[in-house]
């Protein structure tokens, strides 16, 4: 069974997971973009940070790639780090590792391979990709994996990522109530 509510408003530790992610990522990043199709549900009491911009999908009903598109289009940086609102664990060392790869390789994206594909979030994308994504979406294509195969993507091998996150927790998504309960139990130990 899925969550039963909008995951962008997921509460952990008496705060929204979005707030917690911003706190955890603040040592590395100064500006944050929240992609939401419910911007009116974010108010000053929920989000208490100055450097946050709320944006909504420009190209509607095309799934997660629409969010990536507008996030990149609104970014001021050459590269944007993307994480999903239902991913509670941040691995700053891994993010620094990806940032170092970008300095060496000048890729369009840095994503991690998993056992059967890729992890499209907890990844970096070039701001310039928004133009490519726009064309892609306007041709009714929505698959992120296929898109990344058409651009200069650096793939971090699954085995390398496992060394930095042996339990793969940095890619944990809280998709169901059971996932949430399991995560909360693991944090209370």
pLDDT tens for each residue of 154-173: 999 999 999 999 999 999 99
Look at the block and give the residue holding tokens 């995560």.
183
Q: Following DSSP, what letter does each residue of 172-183 receive, concatenated?
A: ----BHHHHHHH
- What pLDDT digit, counting tens, does each position of 88-102 carry? 999 999 999 999 999
Strands 15-16, 11-12: pairing is antiparallel
CA–CA dist 61, 48 (Å, integer): 29
Query: Domain 7-187 classified CATH 3.90.550.10?
Result: yes
Check: pTM over 0.75? Answer yes or no.
yes
Give residue 163's region: left, alpha or beta (phi > 0; psi -120 to 50).
alpha
Residue 152, token pair as written in the block: 């200069």
pLDDT tens track for 92-144:
999 999 999 999 998 999 999 999 999 999 999 999 999 999 999 999 999 99
């Amino acid at each position: 069974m899925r969550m039963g509510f909008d995951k962008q408003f997921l509460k952990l530790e008496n705060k929204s997971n979005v707030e917690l992610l911003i706190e955890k990522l603040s040592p590395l990043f100064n500006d944050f973009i929240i992609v939401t199709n419910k911007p009116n549900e974010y108010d000053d009491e929920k989000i208490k940070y100055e450097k946050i911009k709320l944006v909504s999908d420009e190209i509607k009903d095309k799934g997660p790639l629409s969010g990536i598109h507008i996030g990149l289009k609104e970014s001021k940086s050459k590269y944007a780090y993307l994480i999903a609102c239902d991913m509670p664990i941040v691995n700053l060392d891994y993010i620094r590792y990806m940032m170092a790869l970008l300095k060496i390789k000048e890729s369009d994206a840095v994503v991690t391979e998993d056992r059967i594909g890729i992890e499209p979030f907890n990844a970096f994308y070039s701001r310039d990709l928004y133009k490519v994504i726009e064309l892609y979406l306007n041709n009714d294509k929505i698959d992120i994996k296929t898109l990344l195969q058409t651009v200069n993507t650096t793939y971090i091998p699954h085995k390398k990522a496992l060394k930095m996150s042996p339990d793969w927790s940095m890619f944990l998504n809280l998709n169901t109530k059971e996932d949430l309960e399991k995560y909360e139990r693991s944090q209370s130990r």
